């Protein structure tokens, strides 16, 4: 504790802008934030957008917006700036380049010219021999000068970490004490890809050091990469930060929390009508209790009393029913009727949101009182459905298949708007050789809970991707409970079929 007080504590959360803003990111951000606040330090937000195939601007904005919605305020970041920026890794390429050169010079890393074919052959050979797949050090034996020349001639190459062949890496985790991993277990990690971008490992270590991060609080999934990071700190002659690895949030089946099994997008909870303070409070309850065991607490309550040694290490299951109870307490105990009005206004009862619905509803109205039944599904988390209505004009098992396919196709959508959503269904109808009229009743009911409703594509656009996905999942559950679901085998063959007809799925 004493050495924590001596230097200024700095923590960070470093999400990569791919896909939806994840509750796991918020969970990590919260613990980093309260740790920094407790010790009078700073909390930094850094965007790790080194995967140029998957990173998107939209996703970065979503991260900023969602963490902002939760009131997890960062002291430095890409939007607010700071003295040690830039805070977006894609803007720091020259910095990484300098450091890569340093490693190349001091032998901490080496150039590797192996083709991806050779690498994948190597991998399959190793798998066949039941060995752990890893790089065999082929290019390590290259003469460095010769390698440098080949590189400057334009031959594509990657830069790999030079890992000791013997001994073990010992490092400390503040919650687990000593962790020992044999160097023989550590792969010669690629540090710079052939496109010139750094990988996570390099960028992360360089940035954490240059941004004076004192405590790296991150998910348990990183423990095995610890040796790579320690090795990099050593190669640069830097003192490593302290590490705190938090247990991972889990699905009810105990696997790592994933959107396949649970709503993981922060926006899902916003759109489904949760209060940000309740969501944060719940996240704080995962793996942690305040010293006095309070259940209702704010970020500042948690900051004032935070003690990282109270973190429990079993992976907590993200259980929505307790979150709902907690949200209910916030609603009932913290809000007056007037507050509630204001909050409902912030949520969906405002001109902007209603304004999107009204043009769709207007042609379908005879009286005002027709409006609410038409639009109520946009204000609900889920809708009431049964097997018959869900099946529509399809056989129930076909409905299951098609809903699954739609889920996968919808995930590919970059822009969640009516027209592209419509295109998805048109494409499915075409490929499956169905008329849209046969296909759509199922989706109408799944999304709106009724066959009398607003135009579906526009309605889905308004509902948002997260709630739409939840409804499709619910429909699948209803079908499955009635015995019309997809078996494990069926799902596998569907995936193959899907890949053949529609192309690869994305994550």
Partner RNA sequence: GUCCCGUUCGUCUAGCCAGGUUAGGACACCGGGUUUUCAUCCCGGCAACAGGGGUUCGAAUCCCCUACGGGACGCCA
The answer to whether 421 and 430 have CB atoms below 8 angstroms apart is: no
Nearer CB in complex with RNA: 123/356: 123
| Residue for token pair 């609410």 | 372
Is 259 known to be catalytic?
yes
Closer by beta carbon to RNA, 84 or else 119:
119
Of residues 7 and 325, the one with the C-beta less far from RNA: 325
Q: Which is nearer to RNA, 312 or 487 (CB)?
A: 312
Residue indicated by tokens 């830039």: 86
Where are the extended beta strands (E) located within 113-246?
Answer: 158-161, 168-173, 177-182, 190-192, 215-219, 242-246
User: Rounded to the nearest whole angstrom, what is the least distance from the CB of residue 241 to RNA in the complex?
Assistant: 17
Residue of 472, 408, 478 lying closest to 446 (CA atoms): 472
- β-partners of residue 179 are 171
Q: Which is nearer to RNA, 167 or 237 (CB)?
A: 167
Kind of pairing between the strands at 177-182 and 190-192: unpaired
* Residue placing its CB nearer to RNA in the complex, 333 or 366: 333
Q: How far is the CB of 60 from RNA (least distance, A)?
A: 12
How far apart, in whole angstroms, are the C-alpha atoms of residue 37 and residue 305? 10
Residue with smaller CB distance to RNA, 174 or 432? 174
Residue 414, C-beta contacts closer than 8 angstroms, at least 6 positions apart: 56, 58, 420
Which residue is catalytic, options 259, 412, 435, 488? 259
Q: Least distance from C-beta 133 to RNA, angstroms? A: 4
Instruction: Find the shortest distance in angstroms from Cβ 395 to RNA.
Output: 33
E strands along 117-258, which residues?
158-161, 168-173, 177-182, 190-192, 215-219, 242-246
Beta strands in 17-104 (DSSP E): 42-45
Q: How far is the CB of 394 from RNA (least distance, A)?
A: 33
Q: Are 235 and 103 a contacting pair, CB within 8 Å?
A: yes
Contact 181, 172 (CB under 8 A): no
Q: Specify the residue, 225 or 438, whose C-beta has the smaller distance to RNA.
A: 225
In the complex, minimum distance from the CB of residue 391 to RNA, in angstroms, rounded to a whole number: 28
- Cβ burial, residue 283 (10 Å; 0-12/13-18/19+): buried
What counts of helices (H) and strands (E) characterise the chain?
Answer: 22, 9
Neighbouring C-beta atoms of residue 355, cutoff 10 Å: 9
Residue 232 CB, shortest distance to RNA, in Å, is 14
Instruction: Tell me how far apart the alpha carbons of residues 419 and 404 are, in angstroms, rounded to a whole number.
Output: 20
Q: Give me the least distance between CB of 467 and RNA, in Å please.
A: 22
Token output for 280:
């944060």
CA atoms within 13 A on the CB side of 62: 23
CA distance 141 to 147: 10
Report in angstroms how near the CB of residue 357 gets to RNA at its nearest. Answer: 27
CA distances from 134 to 108, 126, 194, 230, 322 (A): 18, 8, 18, 19, 43
Tell me whether residue 183 or residue 347 sits nearer to RNA (CB atom): 183
Q: Closest by alpha carbon to 205, among 184, 232, 183, 179?
A: 232
Residues with active-site annotation: 259
């Amino acid at each position: 504790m004493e050495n924590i007080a001596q230097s200024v504590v700095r923590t960070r959360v470093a999400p990569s802008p791919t896909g939806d803003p994840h509750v796991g990111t918020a969970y990590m951000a919260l613990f980093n934030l309260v740790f920094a606040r407790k010790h009078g330090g700073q909390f930094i937000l850094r965007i790790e957008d080194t995967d140029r195939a998957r990173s998107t601007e939209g996703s970065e904005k979503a991260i900023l917006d969602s963490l902002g919605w939760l009131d997890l305020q960062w002291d430095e970041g890409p939007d607010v700036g700071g003295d040690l920026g830039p805070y977006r890794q894609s803007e720091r390429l020259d910095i990484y380049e300098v450091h890569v050169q340093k490693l190349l010079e001091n032998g901490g890393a080496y150039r590797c010219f192996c083709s991806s074919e050779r690498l994948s052959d190597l991998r399959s050979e190793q798998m066949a021999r039941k060995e752990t797949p890893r790089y065999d050090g082929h290019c390590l034996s290259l003469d460095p000068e010769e390698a440098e020349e080949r590189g400057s001639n334009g031959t594509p190459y990657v830069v790999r970490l030079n890992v000791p062949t013997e001994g073990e890496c010992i490092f400390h985790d503040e919650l687990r004490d000593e962790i020992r991993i044999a160097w023989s277990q550590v792969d010669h990690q690629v540090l710079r890809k052939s496109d010139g971008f750094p990988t996570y490992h390099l960028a992360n270590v360089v940035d954490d050091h240059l941004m004076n991060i004192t405590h790296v609080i991150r998910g348990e999934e990183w423990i095995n990469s610890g040796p790579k990071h320690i090795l990099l700190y050593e190669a640069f002659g830097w003192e490593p930060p302290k590490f705190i690895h938090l247990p991972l949030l889990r699905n009810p089946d105990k696997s790592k929390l994933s959107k396949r099994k649970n709503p993981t997008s922060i926006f899902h909870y916003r759109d489904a009508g949760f209060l940000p303070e309740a969501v944060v409070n719940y996240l704080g309850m995962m793996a942690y209790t305040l010293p006095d065991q309070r259940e209702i607490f704010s970020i500042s309550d948690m900051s004032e009393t935070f003690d990282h040694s109270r973190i429990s290490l079993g992976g907590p299951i993200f259980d929505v029913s307790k979150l709902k109870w907690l949200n209910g307490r916030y609603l009932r105990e913290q809000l007056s009727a007037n507050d509630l009005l204001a909050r409902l206004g912030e949520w969906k009862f405002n001109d902007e949101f209603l304004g999107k619905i009204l043009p769709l509803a207007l042609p379908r109205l005879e009286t005002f009182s027709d409006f609410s039944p038409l639009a109520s599904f946009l204000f609900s988390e889920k809708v009431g459905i049964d097997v018959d209505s869900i099946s529509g004009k399809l056989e129930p098992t076909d409905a299951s298949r098609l809903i699954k396919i739609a889920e996968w196709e919808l995930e590919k959508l970059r822009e969640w708007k009516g027209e592209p959503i419509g295109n998805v269904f048109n494409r499915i109808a075409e490929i499956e050789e169905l008329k849209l009229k046969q296909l759509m009743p199922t989706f109408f009911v799944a999304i709106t809970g009724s066959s009398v409703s607003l135009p579906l594509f526009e309605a889905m656009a308004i509902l948002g991707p997260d709630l739409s996905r939840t409804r499709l999942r619910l429909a699948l559950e209803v079908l499955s409970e009635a015995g019309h679901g997809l078996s494990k085998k069926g799902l596998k063959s569907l995936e193959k079929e899907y890949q053949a007809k529609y192309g690869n799925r994305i994550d």
